């Protein structure tokens, strides 16, 4: 997730830039979960560009598929509308165009306008038109690790395994006691895995993987642009709809309308990519709700441990409220008999802040 427009947030001007850049016009950093973004002008060009730097303290909670977001966007040029332009300085240096405008995250949460809903539908259609053989951008994983085209079961099982191994397992030494105290066992995703075995096979397509409000930018003309393709992958096209619905927090009525919008767009381009979507959407949503618990529990702990973000004790109630909310949403997918109360969640985090974990410097009130 990246805040990528100057109307969203402004940072101090930094005196560094790439080749041929005027360092006096650099803006940033704009901080996202995984990276910081810097925006600058190029000589003799009306388009401003941006570069990303990974945050040194990051934990990765999502699997990456493509080696370079910029090279993927270059590959998509002319095939997906309203995405960042890529400026090719030479064969090794690509710069991503900066979309001037505001993200949907700046507005009121709720339904999209009719215009933006129609543009979202076109995006869904453009994505499913891109099958496994039409993307040439280099990938991080070796072909032997790719699930077979259309094997939706293997695709979701791969995501579940990543969450178990790279999120829970990799961080168990530091956060395992907190996760267990909140009811998350090592086998918590087994229920979702069991449901995944009944998925219908759908041909794989390009999937954006992170379609939320901060990754949609409304330009000066009112058009909707899609940014932050870092988590794009090749996989089950229904995963994009599930991720979008999970992250957008629509009302039930609006979620149903958006699901029908996706289905209509896909049926108009590749009907086979919508096979079984009504039955399978709930399974993918169950995974997203369960995955978000691991993400939010760990991110909450890390944020409370950061001394530069203000007194941890004053932020504890907000963190606990957010974590309890995601636990409640994931109660059924995770097989939780009960969900910890707000007081119990606060207590779990408070014990960390009292210094029971290494590297915590916050003190109590």
H-only helix segments in the chain: 69-76, 114-128, 152-162, 172-181, 190-196, 238-248, 252-267, 277-305, 312-329, 331-334, 342-351
Q: The pTM is what?
A: 0.86
Cβ-based neighbours of 157, under 8 Å, separated by 6 or more: 193, 196
Please report, for the chain, the start and end positions of each structural domain, with discontinuous segments joined by +. Answer: 23-137+202-274, 152-200+277-356
* Interval 4-63: pLDDT, tens: 333 333 233 333 344 444 444 678 667 655 567 788 787 777 788 887 666 555 677 888
322 Cβ partners below 8 Å, 6+ apart?
Answer: 296, 300
Find, among 281, 282, 285, 294, the residue nearest to 327 by Cα.
294
- CA-wise closest residue to 179 among 11, 359, 15, 340: 340
312-332 pLDDT, tens digit each: 888 999 999 999 999 999 999
Name which of 11-15, 180-184, 189-193, 253-257 the model is least confident about: 11-15
């Amino acid at each position: 997730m990246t805040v990528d427009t100057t109307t969203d947030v402004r940072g101090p001007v930094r005196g560094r830039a790439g080749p041929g850049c005027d360092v006096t016009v650099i803006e940033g950093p704009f901080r996202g979960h995984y990276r910081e973004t810097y925006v600058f002008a190029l000589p003799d060009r009306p388009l401003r560009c941006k570069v990303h730097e990974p945050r040194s303290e990051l934990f990765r909670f999502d699997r990456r598929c493509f080696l370079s977001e910029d090279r993927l966007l270059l590959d998509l040029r002319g095939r997906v509308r309203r995405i960042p332009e890529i400026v090719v300085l030479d064969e090794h240096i690509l710069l991503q165009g900066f979309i001037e405008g505001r993200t949907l995250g700046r507005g009121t949460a709720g339904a999209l306008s009719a215009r933006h809903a129609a543009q979202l539908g076109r995006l869904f259609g453009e994505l499913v038109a891109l099958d496994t053989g039409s993307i040439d951008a280099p990938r991080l994983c070796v072909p032997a690790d790719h699930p077979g085209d259309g094997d939706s079961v293997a695709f979701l099982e791969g995501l579940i395994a990543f969450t178990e191994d790279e999120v829970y397992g990799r961080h168990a030494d530091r956060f395992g006691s907190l996760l267990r105290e909140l009811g998350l066992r090592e086998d918590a995703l087994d229920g979702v895995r069991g449901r995944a075995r009944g998925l219908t096979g759908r041909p794989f397509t390009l999937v954006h993987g992170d379609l939320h409000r901060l990754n949609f930018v409304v330009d000066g003309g009112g058009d909707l642009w899609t940014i932050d393709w870092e988590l794009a992958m090749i996989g089950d096209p229904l995963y994009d709809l599930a991720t979008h619905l999970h992250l957008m927090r629509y009302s039930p009525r609006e979620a149903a309308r958006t699901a029908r919008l996706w289905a209509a767009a896909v049926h108009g381009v590749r009907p086979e990519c919508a096979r079984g979507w009504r039955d399978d959407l709930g399974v993918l949503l169950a995974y997203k709700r369960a995955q978000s618990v691991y993400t939010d529990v760990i991110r909450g702990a890390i944020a409370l441990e950061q001394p530069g973000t203000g007194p941890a004790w004053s932020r504890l109630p907000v963190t606990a409220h957010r974590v309890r909310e995601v636990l409640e949403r994931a109660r059924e997918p995770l097989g939780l008999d009960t969900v910890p109360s707000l007081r119990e969640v606060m207590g779990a985090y408070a014990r960390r802040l009292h210094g029971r974990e290494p590297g915590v410097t916050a003190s109590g009130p």
